[in-house]
Amino acid sequence: MAFDTLLVANRGEIAARVIRSAQSLGLRAVAVYTTADAKAPHVAIADEAVWIGEGPVGDSYLVGDKILEAAQQTGAGAIHPGYGFLSENSEFAQAVEGAGLTFIGPEPKAILSMGNKAEAKRLMIVAGVPCVPGYEGEDQSDAVLIGAAGKIGFPIMVKAAAGGGGRGMRLVHDSADLAEAITLARSEAENAFGSGELILEKAITRPRHVEIQVFADTHGNVIHLGERDCSVQRRHQKVVEEAPCPVMTPELRGRMGAAAVDAARAVDYRGAGTVEFLLDGYGAFYFLEMNTRLQVEHPVTELVTGLDLVAMQIAVAQGEPLPLTQDDVTLTGHAIEVRLYAEDPANDYLPATGPIDLWQPASGPGVRVDAGVVTGQEVSPFYDPMLAKLIAHGPTREAARARLIKAVKDSVLLGTVTNSAFLADVLGQGAFAKGEATTAFLDQAYPDGFPATQASPANVVLALALLLDADRQRTKQAAGYVSDDQLGWSSAALLPLHVPLTFGEEELTPRALAKPDGWMVWVGDDQFDVSFADCRNGQIRARINDQTVDLVAHVTRDAVQIAVEAERLVFRRPRPGAQDDTAAAGGRVVAPMPGLVVEVQAEPGVMVTKGDRLAVLEAMKMQHQITAAVDGTVAAVHVKAGQQLTAGDVMIEIEESE
Amino acid sequence: MGFVSQVVRDSESYAKNRADMLALVDEMRALEARPVALSEQRRDRMEARGQITPRDRLAHLLDPGMPFLQIHGLAGYCVDNKNPEKSVPGASLIIGIGFISGVRCMIIVDDAGIKAGSMVEMSGAAFLSAQDMALKQNLPFVHLVESAGANLMEYKVEFWANGGKLFRNLARHSAAGLPNVAVLHGPSTAGGAYMPGLADYVVGVKKNGMAALAGAALTHAATGEKANDRDLGGSEMHATTSGLVEYLAEDDAHGVAMARDVMARLDWNKSLPERRAKNVQPPKYDADEIAGVVPTDYRIPYDVREVVARIVDGSEFEDFKPGYGAATVCLQAAINGISVGILGNNGPLDPAGANKASQFIQLCGQSDTPLIFLNNITGFMVGTQSEQGGMIKHGAKMIQAVTSVDVPKITLYIGASFGAGNYGMCGYAYDPDFLFAWPNAATGVMGGEQAAGTMEMVARAGMKRKGIEPDEDKLKMQTAMITQHFTSQEGAFYTSGRCIDHGVIDPRDTRRVLGFCLETCLEGRARKVKPTSYGVHRF
């Protein structure tokens, strides 16, 4: 059981985080990576790194044999699976043990039991853990499912038995919608997990999602480390996680903790695990599922308990007893975590890819950033678009919240779209500030979705002045000697330069005139005097009409990205003479994001009307409907089911009707 | 040596000087604004045609935030229209030296917003002057073309005769190894067609760009052929059929961007020597104070060192022979780290002053030090003592020295510049590299009062000879007329209108102008060019 080399079968922030703990314990850490991840930080910090494929997870991080081969090649005695990928794959865990290596996680049997929701629920009922009324039978016919749903009552949740992370999950309010929901959930489940088995559960309306961190060793000790409240979710994806839960009492924690420990004991659990519950408004809680791995949100528990959960996982795997008893567990202060994603909250959370032109994480007292990216890296379409976790700890919830809002603003990632403005806004919402958020919070707070960032005149001014300043720097370098006092000077007045900029779809034409110390910029009829003062630690201090703005920017010839507060804005400067081809785009249906074609409904020669479904594209766990933007006839179909696309690929062409 | 200013900033004279000077600067800015305002009236019409205005083209052409020195901004003032209140300066051209893709260039933009860019009386002179300057300073030349050509209603035979030099200069410019780029934004017909014809690189703008020896009307008149302008000379035709256009642009902004690309691809700065790191100290005395230091009335004396202290690095200079020929001031100083010899006047040129100046000029020639002439000179000293002292021969030596010294010469008219004093101090005829005037400058063969006084003496002598009693009223009228005749021609705005300088500047910009001009001269002289025998032919 003793080992001196640990292979981390994962990528991104969790791989980096596990490697650091392993190294701090004196272990040699081995990373695995793909070509797409060659520049990733987990590769850079590992003592050794093994290449396991080009990019797609099916050829790399999900291939157990490659991982085992890498472990053997590097003399690793143990494998830490992180979360996702192979972390809850019992066959892999079995294979690891079979190869004589240590799997950092529970026994394969425990993974298998908890991995199937139906079986898990049956086990929990036996163990006396409170469960939501539902159906978890083996008969999966539509008629039986619909009949069971009638008995349980609406609203009802349709879930993939093998699922997790929200995939294959549907909330149904009305019996009329049930049949379609079952069909969709089954298809999603089949695509995602290879099994279309579904379970039904009574939907608890507006519950909190409260989960208990449990830890078990191989000496029969099982303890819990308190709870995490992960109620702020969008489509069952956690957005904000905190510890402790704002409405927790010691008495309730005791009951929930005991239930979680019972759940862990029921499957002879080993290592770190999480038992998820729904907590309703009356203090009743129901078993949801058990995650047999380290959770994404484990840092909040670490910050309030002062423990290193990864180090504890490794110790348990090496056969050591837990370093503390239940009575030793203390919870100090409050910690909150948010997940920084490469996605567009204003556009249905569409995942984004692209270069990371700048990554500047926040730092400061009580702030922890677990990042899986570095400047110069590329966010590829192959993996989960989570970039980093931003976590803040403070003596009170309010202190932690204030620190986290600042950390979100100060953590700047430029190059690809991120949800940073959304995160700051969520943390600033009154209901969240008061600790009242339930799983219904986001839908209530943003009934119409999260609004797109607007280009305020001040930001347009900043963008233009930054572009022109960079131009000036460049030409001053290229030119012969030009003294500083001549910059921005003309012996006779020039007229302002009209600069066409685009901000998303919006076209702007601000004007600018150079001044010795900066620029005069006009947006519409409003005039702004802008200059840039000292730049320190990548921060630029701008002065606009006697107001000071701190920002971070990344400027190229054709675009400027700026980070002001939590907003991240991209302005592009089109080159003159570029042909405007947007007019012709109406009939061309392009992939809005990288993804897998699941279904193609469009057939050549068929008439379609605007809004008709043409295809379904699965990207980052979500199935996106591709619909016709115009009325017309399908002229060509360029894709088929199972095909992987990158954003911008032409999928279907429609000949627009007159 | 540091200089200690004697100027009292809160004195009455400082306040008056400043108010007077700034009023003149305002007047200058108002004149400069006239062609801008007139041209702007055509903005809507041009934009409706899918064009951008000439000044917008210039803004797109220039590197943002880099300096721009306008040349001949007041050309034509009081020439076409004698009324100073109505005359629109500029000669339908916007001329200057600026940076394009990091390259210092001579730029001419046809002001198509004024009479469709047609040439006026002083357009030719300003154009030729800019071309000469480009040749002399080894500057690439960029012309944004849109001109209706010569105004047939105001045709004069000498326009046509002299106009040929524009094209000769383009040929010389190309032969000198200096690239020139034309962007065809609008029509360029008849002789104007040779603007693109003789350019090394032509960018043609679709739809509006047009070059033909004769447009549809003249073609019909000459041959009876009914043709249309696009077939005769449209950019699209020239890009595909005649071979006159190298690069076809979608619109004006694209055309200008293409001209910038052409310039960027030349790697024109490859032969420039590495810049030496310079630790340039700004003047200790603020350049802005110049307005308060100098009386606008040249009859009030002041120490020209007060001006120099507000121009040169660190307000420091060496005084060359201050005790000999004291009214002529020779100073060694630096501007932006470039050593310069500066000549100024605290009074008329006397024999000692002329000798000192000649020696100083020759020394600067020996060390290849650029010369700056700050003209405030009422002339060579007259009188028995001066004549017997050899004023003519000493003045002659100074004129020889100024004529022959082979260093960059920059002349500023900062006050008076009269008679042969102007010649000795490197006036217009002495072909300085750059010649700018302050708005208070007064130039001419002599002051109006001196001329009138002289003529009065002559008249009285004549009357006396004829035994006639002098008619005082008539004499008074004569004096007034002569004074008016002279003074109306001596002002800086008037002389600049006739292109006998390169423009009028705000005195507070003097250090920047000098710095810019010096760099232009040094860059031009350092540039390695590859002259060819015939220029590059268009095939």
pLDDT at A192 over 90: no
Q: What is the CATH number of the domain that holds B405?
A: 3.90.226.10
> Does residue B102 sit at the A interface (CB-CB below 8 Å)?
yes
pLDDT at A382 over 50: yes
Residue that the structure tokens 């070059």 belong to = B211
Among the candidates B269, B303, B318, a domain finishes at B269
Q: Say what angle helices B252-265 and B54-61 make with each other, to 10 degrees.
A: 30
Gap from B90 CA to chain A (nearest CA, Å): 12
pLDDT at A582 over 70: no
* B127 falls within a domain: yes
Span B43-63, mean pLDDT? Answer: 96
Span A263-284, mean pLDDT? Answer: 94
pLDDT band, residue B183 (cuts 50/70/90): very high
Is the separation of the CB atoms in B371 and B415 below 8 Å?
A: no
Span A504-516, mean pLDDT? Answer: 94
Cβ-based contacts of B63 with chain A (< 8 Å): 471-472, 475, 479
pLDDT of residue A643: 85
Gap from A68 CA to chain B (nearest CA, Å): 55
Residues B47 and B140 in one domain: yes
Residues B88 and B230 in one domain: yes
Is the separation of the CB atoms in A215 and A449 below 8 Å?
A: no
- Taking the C-alpha atoms of residue B63 and residue A97, their distance in angstroms, rounded to an integer, is 67
pLDDT of residue A627: 86
List, as ranges, residues 23-42 from B with C-beta within 8 Å of A: 29, 32-33, 36
- Taking the C-alpha atoms of residue A561 and residue A564, their distance in angstroms, rounded to an integer, is 10
User: A333-360 pLDDT, tens per residue?
Assistant: 999 999 999 999 998 899 999 999 999 9
pLDDT of residue B276: 67
Residues B235 and B313 in one domain: no
Q: Which residue of B has its CA nearest to A481?
A: B275
What six digits make up the tokens of B360? 């100083």
User: A208-218 pLDDT, tens per residue?
Assistant: 999 999 999 99
Residues B486 and B498 in one domain: no
Strand partners, A237: A234
- Secondary structure percentages of chain A, helix, strand, coil, to 5: 30, 35, 35
Q: Which residue of A has its CA nearest to B251?
A: A577
* B363 falls within a domain: yes
pLDDT of residue A376: 93
Residues B453 and B501 in one domain: no
- Taking the C-alpha atoms of residue A480 and residue A653, their distance in angstroms, rounded to an integer, is 52
Give the number of other Cβ atoms within 10 Å of residue B409's Cβ.
23
Q: Which residue of B has its CA nearest to A490?
A: B68
- For chain B, give the longest Cα–Cα distance: 83
Gap from B33 CA to chain A (nearest CA, Å): 8
Contact B65 A471 (CB under 8 A): yes
Cβ-based contacts of A468 with chain B (< 8 Å): 64-65
pLDDT of residue A579: 57
Residue that the structure tokens 């910009």 belong to = B509
Give the number of other Cβ atoms within 10 Å of residue B151's Cβ.
17
Higher-confidence residue of B413 and A283: namely B413
Give me the CATH code for the A209-224+240-445 domain, please: 3.30.470.20
Interchain CB contacts (distance < 8 Å): A and B: 131
Higher-confidence residue of B226 and B511: namely B511
Helix (H, G, I), strand (E, B) or coil at B218: helix
pLDDT of residue A289: 92
Sequence-separated (6 or more) residues with CB below 8 Å from residue A406: A362, A364, A367
Is the separation of the CB atoms in A161 and A118 below 8 Å?
A: yes
- Taking the C-alpha atoms of residue B134 and residue B104, their distance in angstroms, rounded to an integer, is 10
Cβ-based contacts of B56 with chain A (< 8 Å): 495, 497-498
Range(s) for CATH 3.30.1490.20 in chain A? 133-202
Contact A495 B59 (CB under 8 A): yes
Q: Which residue of B has its CA nearest to A478?
A: B102
CATH topology for A133-202 is Dna Ligase; domain 1 (3.30.1490)
Q: Which of B69, B95, B80, B76 is nearest to B31 (CA)?
A: B76
pLDDT of residue A1: 64
pLDDT band, residue B46 (cuts 50/70/90): very high
pLDDT of residue B119: 87
Give the number of other Cβ atoms within 10 Å of residue A2's Cβ.
9
Span B122-134, mean pLDDT? Answer: 96
Q: Residue A654 burial (CB < 10 Å; 0-12/13-18/19+)?
A: buried
pLDDT at A583 over 50: no
Gap from A375 CA to chain B (nearest CA, Å): 29
CB nearest B64 (choices: A468, A480, A482): A468
Range(s) for CATH 2.40.50.100 in chain A? 582-656
Contact B102 A494 (CB under 8 A): no
Residues B262 and B369 in one domain: no
Residues B62 and B191 in one domain: yes
CB nearest B66 (choices: A475, A481, A512): A475
> Does residue B256 sit at the A interface (CB-CB below 8 Å)?
yes
CATH topology for A582-656 is OB fold (Dihydrolipoamide Acetyltransferase, E2P) (2.40.50)
Helix or strand run (H / E) with residue A652: strand A650-656
Residues B52 and B197 in one domain: yes
Gap from B144 CA to chain A (nearest CA, Å): 16
Contact B66 A476 (CB under 8 A): yes
The proportion of chain B whose per-residue pLDDT surpasses 70, expressed as a percent, equals 99
User: A97-124 pLDDT, tens per residue?
Assistant: 999 999 999 999 999 999 888 889 899 9
Gap from A594 CA to chain B (nearest CA, Å): 34
Please count the structural domains in chain B: 3
Q: Which of B369, B379, B380 is nearest to B318 (CA)?
A: B369
Q: Residue B187 burial (CB < 10 Å; 0-12/13-18/19+)?
A: buried
Residues B205 and B60 in one domain: yes
> Does residue B449 sit at the A interface (CB-CB below 8 Å)?
no
Among the candidates B211, B243, B269, a domain finishes at B269
Cβ-based contacts of A480 with chain B (< 8 Å): 104, 269, 272, 275, 519, 523
Contact B336 A474 (CB under 8 A): no
Cβ-based contacts of B509 with chain A (< 8 Å): 489, 491
Rg of chain B over CA atoms, in angstroms? 25
User: A217-242 pLDDT, tens per residue?
Assistant: 999 999 999 999 999 998 778 999 99
Query: What is the domain range of residue B132?
Result: 41-269
Gap from A544 CA to chain B (nearest CA, Å): 18
* B5 falls within a domain: no
Q: Is A457-572 CATH 3.30.700.30?
A: yes
CATH topology for A5-104 is Rossmann fold (3.40.50)
Is the separation of the CB atoms in B399 and B362 below 8 Å?
A: no
pLDDT band, residue B212 (cuts 50/70/90): very high
Give the number of other Cβ atoms within 10 Å of residue A253's Cβ.
18
* B56 falls within a domain: yes
Q: Which residue of B has its CA nearest to A517?
A: B65
Chain B interface, mutation test: which of A468, A482, A498, most B Cβ atoms within 10 Å? A482
Cβ-based contacts of B257 with chain A (< 8 Å): 575-577
Gap from B385 CA to chain A (nearest CA, Å): 44
CB nearest B64 (choices: A482, A514, A577): A514
Contact A486 B253 (CB under 8 A): no
Residues B175 and B238 in one domain: yes
Contact A492 B32 (CB under 8 A): yes
> Does residue B390 sit at the A interface (CB-CB below 8 Å)?
no
Higher-confidence residue of A152 and B77: namely B77
Cβ-based contacts of A489 with chain B (< 8 Å): 67-68, 509, 512
User: B339-354 pLDDT, tens per residue?
Assistant: 999 999 999 999 999 9
CA count, 13 A, side-chain hemisphere, B146: 27
pLDDT of residue A489: 96
Residues B364 and B499 in one domain: yes
Range(s) for CATH 3.40.50.20 in chain A? 5-104
User: A2-36 pLDDT, tens per residue?
Assistant: 899 999 999 999 999 999 999 999 999 999 999 99
pLDDT at B277 over 80: no
Helix or strand run (H / E) with residue A279: strand A271-279
Residues B483 and B498 in one domain: no
User: B424-461 pLDDT, tens per residue?
Assistant: 999 999 999 999 999 999 999 888 888 888 888 888 88
pLDDT of residue A617: 86
